[in-house]
């Protein structure tokens, strides 16, 4: 069975990526929903899923010290290139890069490298289909790996339940977790805003998607805040072989729907219809 992945990304957080993902959910059939924005997941706030299971996500091994075996020789403090061990031999987990040097130099075998839990993966059910989402502990840095795990778990859900589409709320920005979000996907939708920084971010995201084999489309959120910049975004999209498929207006009703934790395309159906949302859905599916 072929499973199609549609990924929504943006050059930075807060551009309307999750608003668009949540708005698409009720319009698609036979879907699994995946939230790959593991650093700041908030799709669940609008979809209100019922958690079925949760598992720990284990990142890199980190150093753990047994102070009862420590002779305070300071060899580990002097050897740690990341300044992760204090003079009182307390290891700062946020600074530890898991290199294992301290374990190697410790003459008392007081240090061991141990698995550390850096996040949680959730399997859940929404009104519209199963959902996989995750949360990385703030400050931890294995988000690319966690993004891949969320996508794989979503694929397993789709295979087991015979669902043909995975809708992914991707990671924002241009880092490795964005690449993990879009690699192998059929369609990528970039959400941007009509500002100079929106245009700049869009161009940087295109630099990534240029190496990507699937189709890439653009959505301008709050397009009416600057029609001039919206035109520039349309021109840039065309230049990069893409196309602006949807322009969502800035409207206080949208803000209210989100504040009320409602799916915007359901709460403000007319507004979305006027923007051509149904046609947009047809083009991306
Ligand atoms: S594992 Fe490496 S980074 Fe972590 S505390 Fe030991 S020496 Fe420092
Ligand atoms: S190297 Fe081992 S014994 Fe020496 S201070 Fe570090 S933990 Fe303690």
CA of 85 to the centre of ligand 2 (A): 10
Ligand 1, atom nearest to 76 Cα: 7
The DSSP secondary-structure symbol of 249 reads: P
Write down the domain spans for the chain.
Answer: 4-57+126-284, 59-117
CA of 119 to the centre of ligand 1 (A): 20
Tens-digit pLDDT profile for residues 5-58: 999 999 888 899 999 999 999 999 999 999 999 888 899 999 999 999 999 999
72 lines ligand 2 (CB under 6 A): yes
What's the topology of domain 59-117?
Alpha-Beta Plaits (3.30.70)
Average pLDDT, the chain: 93
**What would you measure as the largest C-alpha separation in the chain, in angstroms?**
72
pTM, two decimal places: 0.88
Ligand 2, atom nearest to 79 Cα: 1
Q: Which ligand is nearest to the CA of 114?
A: 1
Tens-digit pLDDT profile for residues 185-224: 899 999 999 999 999 999 999 999 988 878 999 999 999 9
Q: Is the dihedral of CA 81, 83, 87, 92 positive or negative?
A: negative
Tokens 């708005």, residue located: 23
DSSP H helical ranges for the chain: 17-24, 43-47, 75-79, 101-105, 143-161, 176-182, 196-209, 227-239, 252-259, 264-267, 269-274, 277-284
Is 4-57+126-284 a CATH 3.40.50.300 domain?
yes
Q: Whose CA is nearest to atom 3 of ligand 2?
A: 70
């Amino acid at each position: 069975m072929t499973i199609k992945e549609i990924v929504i990304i943006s050059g930075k957080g807060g551009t309307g990526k999750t608003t668009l993902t949540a708005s698409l959910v009720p319009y698609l059939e036979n879907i699994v929903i995946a939230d790959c924005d593991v650093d700041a997941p908030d799709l669940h706030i609008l979809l209100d899923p019922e958690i079925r299971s949760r598992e720990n996500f284990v990142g890199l091994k980190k150093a753990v010290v047994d102070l009862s075996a420590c002779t305070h020789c300071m060899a580990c403090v002097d050897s740690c290139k990341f300044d992760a061990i204090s003079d009182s031999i307390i290891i700062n987990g946020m600074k530890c890069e898991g290199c294992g040097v301290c374990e190697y130099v410790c003459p008392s075998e007081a240090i061991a490298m141990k698995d550390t839990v850096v996040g949680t993966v959730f399997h859940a059910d929404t009104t519209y289909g199963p959902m996989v989402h995750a949360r990385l502990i703030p400050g931890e840095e294995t988000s690319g790996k966690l993004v891949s795990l969320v996508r794989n778990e979503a694929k397993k859900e789709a295979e087991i339940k015979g669902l043909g589409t995975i809708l992914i709320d991707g990671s924002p920005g241009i880092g490795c977790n964005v690449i993990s979000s879009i690699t192998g996907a059929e369609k990528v939708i970039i959400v941007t805003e009509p500002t100079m920084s929106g245009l700049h971010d869009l161009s940087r995201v295109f630099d990534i998607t240029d190496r990507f084999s699937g189709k890439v489309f653009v959505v301008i959120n709050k397009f009416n805040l600057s029609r001039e910049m919206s035109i520039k975004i349309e021109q840039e999209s065309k230049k990069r072989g893409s196309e602006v498929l949807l322009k969502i207006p800035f409207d206080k009703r949208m803000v209210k729907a989100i504040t009320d934790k409602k799916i915007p395309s359901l709460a403000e159906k007319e507004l979305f219809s006027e923007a051509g949302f149904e046609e947009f859905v047809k083009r991306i599916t």
